[in-house]
Amino acid sequence: MIAIDGMPGAGKTTVLRQLQDALPDHVVVFPEAQPPDHPVPDGATARYLLTEAQGRLVEAQRLQQTRPGLLVLSDRCHIGVLAYRYALQASGQGPRQDFDRALELAHSLGLTAPGAHDRVLVLLVDPAESIARRLAYAHDIRYRLWFDPDFLAAYHNFLTHLDTWLPPDTFTTHDATTTSAWAALLSALPPHLTERLAPTFATDDRPEVP
């Protein structure tokens, strides 16, 4: 399974949706996981999301066994869960213990182990660019935190120093500020799939919904 994570507005959801639309018979995309519908402590939310991320790996293996050649991708993974908790505590909006426990759980679930994913791509844009790409949603209270400069700066700091927390051979980072998110995704796809894609997709870089 290939997972794509990173900064909001970097192009993750957009390129995955376009890839699935372009190759519906060859690609399955797991959408971004959502927290429980009912309110729970943040530590429980982190456990829920990380357990769900582990379940995606199991389901990806099952799908690939039943449909050889199928490419399975995930919109976000354990890295987004960890980055969120890190940014909360670093910006003074959450306790450090929530991040520490989430990191420990991610390790214990095997999510951070080399080989757990076929590949994890982390797309980066600086916080100012992230906000600029998503201005249409700035007044939506559901996304308030994702427009908080301190939170975004901490989120970006975590992603740019991932090797402090995770084995460096378990992810690849790409700067999506000036280059299309497609460039990163295409580099991870098997050759037989890239040949099927129209060349114009490689330069499409429309911003995503937060």
Task: Classify residue 80: in a domain, yes or no.
Answer: yes
We report the CATH number of the domain holding residue 6 as 3.40.50.300
Task: Classify residue 209: in a domain, yes or no.
Answer: no
8 A C-beta contact, residue 2 and residue 188: yes
Q: Is 11 exposed, middle or buried (0-12, 13-18, 19+ CB in 10 A)?
A: buried
Task: Classify residue 208: in a domain, yes or no.
Answer: no
Domain tally, the chain? 1
Provide the edge-to-edge strand list for the sheet that holds 119-124.
27-30, 71-75, 2-6, 119-124, 172-175
Whole-prediction pTM? 0.91
Full residue range of the structural domain in which residue 111 is found: 2-203
Task: Classify residue 72: in a domain, yes or no.
Answer: yes
* Residue 73: CB atoms within 10 Å: 24
Q: How does pLDDT run along the chain (210 residues), one tens digit per residue?
A: 999 999 999 999 999 998 999 899 999 999 999 988 877 788 899 999 999 999 999 999 999 999 988 999 999 999 999 999 999 999 999 999 999 999 999 999 999 999 999 999 999 999 999 999 999 999 999 899 999 999 999 999 999 999 999 999 999 999 998 777 888 888 888 888 888 775 545 444 443 433
Nearest residue to 71 via CA among 135, 132, 4: 4
Task: Classify residue 22: in a domain, yes or no.
Answer: yes
Task: Classify residue 210: in a domain, yes or no.
Answer: no
